Amino acid sequence: MTAHAHKSRMSLSISARLVLSTAGAVILVMLGFIHFFMMHQKETILAQNERTMRLMISNISSALRTIMTAGYAQIAQEFARDIQRNPAVLNFRILRINGEEAFQDNATIREVNHRLGEEEFMPRDQETRLEVLAPDHPALRKVLESGQIITLMEGQTNDHRVTYLAPIERIGKCGKCHGSDPKYRGVMMITTSLAQAQSDIEATRQEAVVVALIALFFVLLLVYLMIRGFLITPLSRIRGAMVRVANGHLEERVHVPGHDEISEITVTFNEMAKRLLKTYTGLQMEQDKLSTIIIGAQEGIVVTDGQQQIVLVNPAAERLLGKDFDQIRAAGWENLVDDPDFLRTFVAKGGQDMPNLLVFNGRALKIHAATITATDQSPIGTSIMIRDVTDEKKLEDKLRELSVTDALTQLYNRRGLLEVLEKEIKRSQRYNHFMGFLLFDVDHFKKFNDTYGHDQGDRVLQAIGRVMREYFRKVDTPCRYGGEEFCVVLPDTSPKGAYIVAERFRRQVEAMVVDNLKVTVSIGVATIPASEINKVDDLIKKADDMLYEAKRNGRNQVRMSVHLEDLESLNQEV
């Protein structure tokens, strides 16, 4: 999925969520309102039904009182049957205060006839005693004690029935037949149906739902149009502009009229895009410069990302390594010079205590590798610089060779001698090895210059240098110390060996003829540690002393800084 498609889908999702969340809030409010309205209507209908029933009970009670006080007690039972036939009344009974149904036996008739002293009322041919409520029934006791109408079994709505108990109060006229006690003569028990009330409630609920749905539709439509006009459309414009800016069209601008928050966001976005375009233009210019530098650089450059995947290889790196980009990337940065351990260790140590010069692909390469870190020091990649120093190294070696080589004899000069002596003395001390040092000059060299000229003197010096290069070992270091003085460093050579080497070399020079001229040399020999010398100057001084001793003793001879037994026998052996 492209970035544009992803952002578009996300924007639509935000718009949909905004509409849905607003619609949900409106629906919740409407549902709450509908619930409140229906509950209120339900309570109103039930209260109206309650008032109607209480009014009906009051009317029945008044009618029954009128019948009884008029002396028509015999028609009270028929009156009760008439009420029972009312469709709204499911059950109607007149109870005595002990819970028995009245007008079903002759008990009250006998009591009244006895009180009146005559047969005022005719007894019933059939009588039945029916206990409807127990004498101690809580509802019966409550209605007789309070004198108020109470509801019995209220809340049983499965069959939509409710029962009312109403006291029948004794009035003055009742005393003639029933006496003065008790206060209430009985209780009316009426059971009525709530079916009609429930039907009214259901009808009201349906009407409320229909009205609410219609209102909800128009409210949601209005909310949607408002959200679309004030939010979705402006935000879609801004989103589209952001997508185009993200795709590189930094000149994109948005116009949203008004002075609200959306317009302020638009102004901010336009300003941001303007600054981004300016920054991008500057960065593009710098990138072009950097790209030109990287591509045109003679040094190889390899860069990785945070996952250590190679992301940049310039042409110089391909040329120096002898590999193309695909090969370098496939092998990984650790294998640039086919030595993963070297590069990993170099990066880990930051180049500390690591050689930065190696030979690869027939070239002397100088390597520098380092981890690139963010401001919080977290690694974001690795940078490797590769420089070809082959010509520099050759020139450096050549310059070094020239700096330590005597131009006339092609031997080490005095500077080279001092470096070699310093190193060999330390090595001799570290490993407790012998080392010999010869210092000699040409006997009567001044006569060669004065008699035959300086050119002849130079030829003598060159001949001696040639003999030194041919005679001494490769590990030895023959040097021109200065003028007609020469010296030789002899590693791992004992005093006896140094003497033998010096004597043989003296004899070889003695046998040499340069332009029909005989040449001899006087040699002074010093050794360590036999002479207990541990400094360069001391070693040279000791050999120089032996040289002058040889000169004082007649020249063309070797003198040692240490005493050797049976020197004559040793000379014969040589």
Catalytic residue set:
484
Residue 506 near residue 449, CB atoms below 8 Å: no
Half-sphere exposure of 459 (CA within 13 A, CB side): 14
Q: How far apart are CA 215 and CA 30, in angstroms?
A: 9
Residue 140 near residue 128, CB atoms below 8 Å: no
**CA quadruple 175, 180, 182, 183: dihedral positive or negative?**
positive
Check residue 354 and report its DSSP letter. -
For residue 379, give the 3-state DSSP assignment.
strand
Give the strand pairing for 485-491 and 357-360.
unpaired
Residue 79 near residue 67, CB atoms below 8 Å: yes
Q: How far apart are CA 302 and CA 524, in angstroms?
A: 59
Angle of CA points 388, 392, 394, to nearest 5° = 110
Distance set, CA 45 to CA 41, 88, 91 (Å): 6, 16, 22
- Which residues neighbour 139 within 8 Å (Cβ) at sequence distance 6 or greater? 133, 150, 152, 165
Half-sphere exposure of 448 (CA within 13 A, CB side): 21
Give the strand pairing for 521-528 and 558-560.
parallel
- Which residues neighbour 496 within 8 Å (Cβ) at sequence distance 6 or greater? 564, 570
> Any idea of the CA torsion for 361, 362, 366, 370, to the nearest 10 degrees?
10
Closest CA to 481 of 434, 437, 530: 437
